[in-house]
Amino acid sequence: MLIAPPPDALTVGLEWIGVVVGAAAIARVVTLVVRPLVDGDARRPRNDRLIEAGFVACAMVAWWWEMHAVGRLSPPSAGGMVVARHDIAIRHAAHLVLAGLLVAAAWVDLRYRVIPDVITMPGALLGLLWTAADPTILMPVPHEVARSFAAPRIEWDQLGAFGGLRTASIPAWLGACPTPGGVAVALVAFVAWWWTCTAPLTDPDDQAASPWRRRLDPRRLVLVAGALGIMLAWWRGGMPWHAQLASLAGIVVAAGLVWLIRLGASWALAQEAMGFGDVTLMAMAGAWIGWQPCVLALFVGVFIGLVHGLGQVVMRRGNELPFGPSLCIGLGVVVLGWNPLWRLTGPVFERPGELAVVGGAVIVLTALTLAVWRRVRGNAAPGA
């Protein structure tokens, strides 16, 4: 058996009620935050209710898929391993919060071709702190435990920066307290994200704002909270520290790859392409799920984005390509289809050389495809 059975039908009912209530609360927060950003007011209750109902329905399908269809926890042979329902519930809750952030980012990006820091900055901080507080929200991976008296037993681990949190060791110089190198590297990575991927939410030239409001800008609070969280995880050591490194690696790798694709796309289109919000979006996702799932999601998102672009050329519906929604869909595909995707691609991540070649190929092919798209668009424009 993969998942521990519920003690009774009442527990199953309460689980479903919790999913519905939690998803409804998250969806309500999303609409309250996003509606003023896209319309300047919050007076479209009918549309908001439809969005909230759709989010709740998707959350229920995801819960059924993970808890009852065992969508992310079914290797070819489970060897009798029992997975606690509590762990799955916590992971599902974390992924619902991430989904809410992605819906908010995609919604604004579709409307204004921008992804605001008010979504990605607190989202990345929350992911960073949550992974350290409860590492079970990271993506699950199976590993074999050899037994002399029977066939190997399959146990579940969480995917960290260097492999399983329990099974893969981290370099000694990245160790927890009292090793200073680990916390130094972690703080440098966090400050680099904070410096490049965030901006003040309070206008420093706003004379109407009080001095205290300018000093307590949310961006500064994020810096302080994130640094304190990293140091606490370093002091605790063990799984929390390994999970914190996985979250930071997700931020750096995901943001770095999108930034490289952005450079290639800008060269191909002969103009600035892929606003920096796409970089901050993937950095936020990396804080929640780590760098390996983000790499897979980026591959899926690039494919979706290119298909979308070709569709726009055929339908002649404008020249702008919002990439954020494609990345959000790619992240959703990877999270929901994690088990088969990891079985298929996991061995590649054990060979960094091959992975680097594949990543480079994706960046180059994306640039070449966009260059072709620019030429096709230019040829189609005179007859439009």
Q: Is residue 154 part of a domain?
A: no
Does 103 reside within a domain? yes
Can you tell me the distance from the alpha carbon of 255 to that of 261, in angstroms, rounded to the nearest whole number?
10
Distance CA 288, CA 138 (A): 7
Which of 29-38, 70-79, 179-188 has the weakest average pLDDT? 70-79
**Burial bucket for residue 60 (CB in 10 Å: 0-12, 13-18, 19+):** middle
3 in any annotated domain: no
Any domain includes 216 = yes
Alpha-carbon gap, residue 170 to 235, rounded angstroms: 16
Q: Is the pLDDT score of 1 beyond 80?
A: no
73-96 per-position pLDDT tens digit = 544 444 445 667 788 889 999 999
Burial letters 305-318, b for 16+ CB under 10 A, else e: bbebbeebbeeeee
* Angstrom distance (rounded) from CA 286 to CA 279: 11
Q: What is the mean pLDDT of residues 207-226?
A: 77
pLDDT at res. 77: 44
Which range among 18-22, 88-92, 197-201, 364-368 shows the weakest confidence by mean pLDDT?
364-368
Q: Which amino acid is at 149?
A: F
Does residue 153 fall inside a structural domain? no
- Burial of 140 (C-beta count, 10 Å sphere; 0-12/13-18/19+): buried
| Burial label, 42 (beta-carbon count in 10 A; 0-12, 13-18, 19+) | middle
Long-range contacts at 233-240 (CB < 8 A, ≥ 24 apart): 233/132, 233/176, 234/176, 234/177, 234/182, 234/183, 234/186, 235/176, 235/177, 236/132, 236/176, 236/177, 237/175, 237/176, 237/177, 238/176, 239/135, 239/165, 239/166, 240/132, 240/133, 240/135
Contact 264, 364 (CB under 8 A): yes
| Predicted local confidence at residue 129, as pLDDT | 97
pLDDT greater than 70 at residue 212: no
Residue 349 CA to residue 246 CA, distance in Å, equals: 14
Range of the domain at 299: 9-145+160-380
Rounded to 5°, the CA angle 328-329-333 comes to 120
Angstrom distance (rounded) from CA 291 to CA 251:
7
Inform me whether the pLDDT recorded for 211 exceeds 70: no
Is the pLDDT at 45 greater than 80? The verdict is: no
- The whole-number average pLDDT for the span 39-68 is 82
Percentage of residues of the chain with pLDDT beyond 70: 80
Give the predicted TM-score (pTM) of the model: 0.88
pLDDT in tens, 328-337: 999 999 999 9
Q: Is residue 150 part of a domain?
A: no
Region 149-163: mean pLDDT is 82
Give me the pLDDT at residue 384, please: 42
pLDDT in tens, 246-300: 999 999 999 999 998 888 877 776 777 677 899 999 999 999 999 999 999 998 9
C-alpha R_g of the chain: 22
Q: 270 in a domain, yes or no?
A: yes
Q: Please count the structural domains in the chain.
A: 1
Q: pLDDT digit string (tens) for 100-136?
A: 999 999 999 988 888 999 999 999 999 999 999 999 9
Assess contact for 359 and 257: CB atoms under 8 A: yes
Q: Which two tokens stand for residue 153?
A: 């037993």
Region 136-152: mean pLDDT is 80
Classify residue 15: in a domain, yes or no: yes
Overall average pLDDT of the 19-40 stretch: 88
Q: What is the mean pLDDT of the chain?
A: 83
- Return the pLDDT at 75: 44
Distances 303 to 186, 306, 329 between C-alpha atoms, Å? 32, 5, 11
Q: Which two tokens stand for residue 220?
A: 């500064």
